[in-house]
A and B are shown apart, each in its own frame.
Chain A
Amino acid sequence: MANPCEVEVLNNALSGIGVDEKSLVSILTKSQNEHKKSMRKGCSKFFLEDERQFERWNDSAIKSLKAEFKLFKDVVVLSLMHPWERDARLFKKALKKGPPHYNVIVEIACTRSSDQLLGARKAYHSLFDRSIEEDLASHVKGSERKLLVALVSAYRYEGPKVKEDAAKSEAKALLNAIKNNNGDHKKKAMEEDEVIWILTTRSKPHLKVVYEQYKKISAKTITEELEVELLLKETVECLCTPQTYFTRVFDTALREDAKEDAKKALTRLVATQEDVDLKGIAAKFEDKIKERVKGAYKDVLLGVLADDRQ
């Protein structure tokens, strides 16, 4: 007979983010049929009493378990991949999956350095015999097209030099473009040429100044103003306040009700960012990670995000 403790261990091993491989191994190596039967009876989250008197796996539980087991594999594969191949494949996958996943395209295009983004474009040529911009331009049909194509095509200047005057007038131009389109439901701000060229050609330091200037002339920040246009909001966030973006990814992924995509976002961040900022943010979530994440996946997260990693 399984004792309540063991049932709880099993429950824990399969709950949360990732799976506790060690516990599962020890449970399985000790269990015989009777033992397993009583565990099944005890884990109502994972097993249902079938009308023909046997305990069957809960199908939807298996589905989520599959995703949890996959987390470790994904972080391994993604982490070992050459960054260029990785980003090219992430682009392709996001494009294939459609509009709800376009935020991944935004995330990559906006958080990589100019040369990293270029490398991803080269790898895309090798892997798919097309350029990323031609695939995006021909497959994205909606209002996001111009923005996405321009974002992946950027080769931003990375020096610190910023022209204050230009930043001021561009903040104003953005304000006008956003205000004009808040009422007009036919055209979104992300389709406005002014918005696009400012956000997709200016350097990141320049955009950070634009962001600050915007705060001075408007009651809200650009991101607050853009609540309705998620993709554009994320663009601005990733470019101007990446720490906010990273924090949100961690926060969402580590919640009780976190969805698969949220956890994938976490995996993506962990596998790809070597940002100093990221480690600082991760430190804030260390306790949550220890509490909610299990097994090998947890070990990878904590190991990669540790401050003294080489």
Chain B
Amino acid sequence: MATLIAPEHTSAVEDAEKLQKACKGWGTDEKAIISVLGHRNAVQRKQIRLAYEDLYQEDLIKRLESELSGDFEKAVYRWILDPADRDAVLANVAIKKLSPDHHVIVEISCTRSPEELLAVRRAYQARYKHSLEEDVAAHTKGDTRKLLVSLVSAFRYDGEEINTRVANSEAKILHEAVKDKEFNHEEIIRILSTRSKMQLMATFNRYRDDHGTTITKNLEGDSGDEFLKTLRATIRCLNDPKKYFEKVLRNSIRRVGTDEDALTRVIVTRAEKDLKDIKELYYKRNSVSLDQAVAKDTSGDYKALLLTLLGKED
């Protein structure tokens, strides 16, 4: 369930006017920005952008970029974009880093629906004049590259049909591949990047039933190996995305500094999806609410926006 609180009937024109007022003159009224944008869903945000352009002949996003700064600005920028466009930006940022954030690519390609992933690929092309897969390929190497390119290129069957025979045989293949720590990468990549999500669930369940432990447990090992890290993230995202996101949040807050990029990314991309469920998992795991943890670790307008997206009543 989503955490975003957005009223059903809003006026894009009024909202655009409020935002323009917030940006006018000296200083910026960040609270006003948060109170408007923090309570609008993707459709509404898009309408606000159009209304703003119409009224003031200016790109709202560019305006906000110039008015705001720091983690708050990054968060607002990511929040205000269309989901597909946002994912394209996140992917590009992840790829272009000196040491690419493979797990972000995994996240996007494995936790979005097949249609959503297609939309991301289109948005990526529109923005960067390259296909997502060619950029991923050009910036990665070896087996990690094979895995990531396959994942972003996938257009999985999204139906409920599963084949138990296949689940059995592929659980076996995965086990064989994992057992001797000599990963037959080709087969693992094939299974993880082409099978439907329902089929994979059946396979993972079968694996667990046959071997008493989940496949992710069996993959724990030297965290030095980049392919292994990426593979683990892949299986986690495919197997239980909410649990995966809880872990990302936990790690982002736990660190000696906060990993704002990860924190922003998860909250912004899940607020309209399943952040509520993730919050419940977080509480179960950490005995403290996510809201509290975020409040303790962040400050200022950045904190205010995050808490609003987390469902804080005004």
Q: A residues touching B (Cβ–Cβ < 8 Å)?
A: 118, 121-122, 125, 129-131, 133-134, 137-138, 146, 149-150, 153-159, 161, 166, 193, 197, 200-203
| A131-B194, A133-B194, A134-B194 known; A157 vs B134 contact (CB < 8 Å) | yes
| A153-B150, A155-B121, A166-B138 known; A134 vs B157 contact (CB < 8 Å) | yes
B229 at the binding interface (Cβ < 8 Å): no
CA of A118 to CA of B119, assembled, Å: 12
B133:A155 contact, CB within 8 angstroms: yes
Give min CB distance, B150 to chain A, whole Å.
7
- Chain B residues with CB under 8 Å of A203's CB are 130-131, 134
Give min CB distance, A238 to chain B, whole Å.
18
Give min CB distance, A160 to chain B, whole Å.
9
**Most B CB within 10 A of own CB, among A130, A155, A197:** A155
A193's contact among B118, B146, B195, B196, by CB below 8 Å, is which? B146
| A121-B155, A129-B161, A153-B155 known; A201 vs B134 contact (CB < 8 Å) | yes
Give residues 97-113 of B contacting A (CB, 8 Å): none
A150:B155 contact, CB within 8 angstroms: no
B145 at the binding interface (Cβ < 8 Å): yes
B137's contact among A134, A138, A156, A197, by CB below 8 Å, is which? A197
Give residues 180-232 of B contacting A (CB, 8 Å): 186, 190, 193-196, 199
CA of A131 to CA of B134, assembled, Å: 22
A138:B129 contact, CB within 8 angstroms: no
Bitwise, B248-278 to A at CB < 8 A (1) or not (0) is 0000000000000000000000000000000
How many of chain B's residues have a CB under 8 angstroms from any CB in A? 33
CA of A153 to CA of B117, assembled, Å: 13
B155:A201 contact, CB within 8 angstroms: no
Give min CB distance, A209 to chain B, whole Å.
14
| Beta-carbon nearest neighbor of B130 in chain A | A157
B281 at the binding interface (Cβ < 8 Å): no
- Chain A residues with CB under 8 Å of B186's CB are 146
A161:B157 contact, CB within 8 angstroms: no
B164 at the binding interface (Cβ < 8 Å): no
B196:A201 contact, CB within 8 angstroms: no
| Beta-carbon nearest neighbor of B158 in chain A | A125
- Chain A residues with CB under 8 Å of B161's CB are 129-130
Give min CB distance, B53 to chain A, whole Å.
24
- Chain A residues with CB under 8 Å of B134's CB are 156-157, 197, 201-203
Give min CB distance, A228 to chain B, whole Å.
23
| A118-B118, A134-B196 known; A153 vs B138 contact (CB < 8 Å) | no
Give min CB distance, B93 to chain A, whole Å.
19
A137:B194 contact, CB within 8 angstroms: yes
Q: Please give me the 3 A-B residue pairs with the lowest Cβ-Cβ distance, nearest first.
A: A153-B153, A134-B194, A201-B134
